[in-house]
Amino acid sequence: MQTKILLDESEMPTQWYNVVADMPNAPLPPLGPDGQPIGPDALSAIFPMSLIEQEVSDQRWITIPEPVREVYQLWRPSPLYRAHQLEAALGTPAKIYYKYEGVSPAGSHKPNTAVAQAYYNREAGIRRLATETGAGQWGSSLAMVGQKFGIEVRVYMVKVSYEQKPFRRSMMQTWGAEVLPSPTDRTESGRQILAKDPDSPGSLGIAISEAVEEAASRDDTNYALGSVLNHVLLHQTVIGLEAKKQFEKVGDYPDMVFAPCGGGSNFGGAAFPFFADKAAGKAVRLVAVEPASCPTLTRGHYAYDFGDSVGLTPLMKMYTLGHDFVPPGIHAGGLRYHGDSALVSQLYNEGLIEAVAVPQLATFEAGVQFARAEGIIPAPESNHAIRAVIDEANRCRESGEAKTLFFNLSGHGHFDMGSYDKYFSGELEDFEYPAEAIDQALHHLPGVG
């Protein structure tokens, strides 16, 4: 019984996979506030041209630069595990596999794109990056690789997470980044939010506004986003590409692929390489798992909306709960985003991928069950995928179907033990679906496109 399926360094992917090449319809373009498609120039104030080219590329394969592969080798290829113990605990005939991205220095999948973004910015002569972070996974990833490429990093950290996860802040500071609780009074965007709500818990959308504003107003500073954008999902495809080789080694192939979904980057990274097979006729189901209190795909509108709260970014056609919706302060901070990747959104709209929403308490219950069976303590975000996988494995027990289930264990939960503590002491709650707040935010959609 093989438990851990490894690849050699020489088997690490040399190219990223661009799903656009296999989508039945070209992605819809981002629009400016006038409703007209924007050109590459509109983005060049905050991104290097190399990343803008990847953002609009329809080439199937894009070569991973050697210096990026060298940094990847610190933790890649990451292991694929067969969850024998969890299968036994569930008494399911299903086979469960998971790819473990918690082996990166920052503890999640996010360094896969942080390395690439730092590299391309450095090549373009940029020496400073501004960014946002939710739970701190993205900020710590960028802080870590900033050191490797000689780039200074400033992180706007969502205030509720800044308070819930102080050690994530310490990590970023250890790697030399400056961390500010967002909303701050240092940017026009932050001041605008604080004027309306001095006690604002912050949100990813607000923190993005602050970081974009700073990058746009300083020549030496660019902006880096940890999810959502096409080039971010592209970089994350190392996950699924490695997983496919690992499945080949054991002569298996998933019937269903699951990943937690915030902005869609680890879902895209794990699932898109399998979408290539689906597009070629193979039967494989791809399932994005999101929080019931921030149910972007399952309850949002498919419309053009801003990527940030204040309205500084181009408009993207995506599932959205409204750019000024502030999601409840759930402990899976990485999933508190009002929108979703345009690529994930379009594939969902066309019925080519699926989505489910799960409530917070049930995700922690699943995470604890997983940790007791498999040993690894998952990040609260990852617990969402685990919930959906356990539910499917239980259905297999009822029906007797021996499906092969695969999920992305996007990160470990070592800096989230405060959240686990709350779960154990019964203080963790399920938030009602925030219908009124979402209704209101949806009234503020820009109404173009």
Ligand X SMILES: *Cc1c(COP(=O)(O)O)cnc(C)c1O
Q: In the complex, which residues of this chain contact ligand X (CB under 6 A)?
A: 108, 110, 137-138, 227, 260-267, 334-335, 379, 381-382, 410-411
Strands 178-182 and 15-17: unpaired
d(CA 317, CA 155): 27
Task: Report the DSSP beta bridge partners of residue 285.
Answer: 256
- Return the number of the residue (343 or 396) whose C-beta is nearest ligand X: 343
Least separation, in Å, of the C-beta of 265 and ligand X? 4
Q: What's the rounded Cα separation, in Å, for the pair 213 and 181?
A: 16
Q: How far is the CB of 378 from ligand X (least distance, A)?
A: 8
Q: Which two tokens stand for residue 133?
A: 């972070």
Phi and psi at residue 55, to the nearest 5°: -60, -35
Contact residues for 76 (Cβ-Cβ < 8 A; gap 6+): 9, 12, 112, 238, 242
Name the minimum Å distance from CB 136 to ligand X: 8
What angle in degrees, to the nearest 10, is found between the helix axes of 204-217 and 188-196?
150
Q: Which is nearer to ligand X, 92 or 209 (CB)?
A: 209
CA 380, 103, 406, 244: dihedral to nearest 10 degrees?
Answer: 150
CB of 410 to ligand X, least distance (A): 3
Nearer to ligand X (CB atom), residue 187 or residue 382 = 382
Distance of CA 211 to the CA centre of its chain: 18
Smaller CB separation from ligand X, 144 or 396: 144
* In the complex, least distance from residue 412 CB atom to ligand X, rounded to whole angstroms: 8
Rounded to a whole number of angstroms, the minimum distance from the CB of residue 307 to ligand X is 12
Nearest-angstrom CA–CA distance, 242 and 12? 7
At 27, phi and psi to the nearest 5? Answer: -65, 145
* Residue 161 C-beta: closest distance to ligand X, Å: 11
Which residues, 6+ apart, have CB-to-CB distance to 254 below 8 Å? 97, 247, 274, 284, 404, 405, 406
CB 341 within 8 A of CB 263: yes
Quote the least distance from Cβ 405 to ligand X, whole Å: 18
Whose tokens are 């080798």? That residue is 73
Q: Which is nearer to ligand X, 92 or 230 (CB)?
A: 230
Rounded Cα distance between 302 and 319, Å, is 4
d(CA 64, CA 76) in angstroms, rounded, equals 13
Which residues contact residue 187 at a Cβ distance below 8 angstroms, ignoring those fewer than 6 apart?
209, 210, 213, 214
Would you say 92 or 419 has its CB closer to ligand X? 419
Query: Toward ligand X, which CB reaches closer, 193 or 335?
Result: 335
Tokens of 343: 């690529």
**Residue 338 near residue 320, CB atoms below 8 Å:** yes
DSSP one-letter code for 40? G
If the CB atoms of residues 125 and 375 are measured against ligand X, the closer one turns out to be 375
Cβ at position 164, least distance to ligand X in Å: 14
Query: Which of 78, 142, 54, 116 has its CA nearest to residue 409?
Result: 78
Work out how close the CB of 182 gets to ligand X at its nearest, in angstroms, rounded to a whole number. Answer: 16
Which of 13/260 has CB closer to ligand X?
260
Q: Which is nearer to ligand X, 221 or 266 (CB)?
A: 266
**Of 355 and 396, which CB lies nearer to ligand X in the complex structure?**
355
d(CA 171, CA 7): 29
- Rounded least distance, CB 397 to ligand X, Å: 27
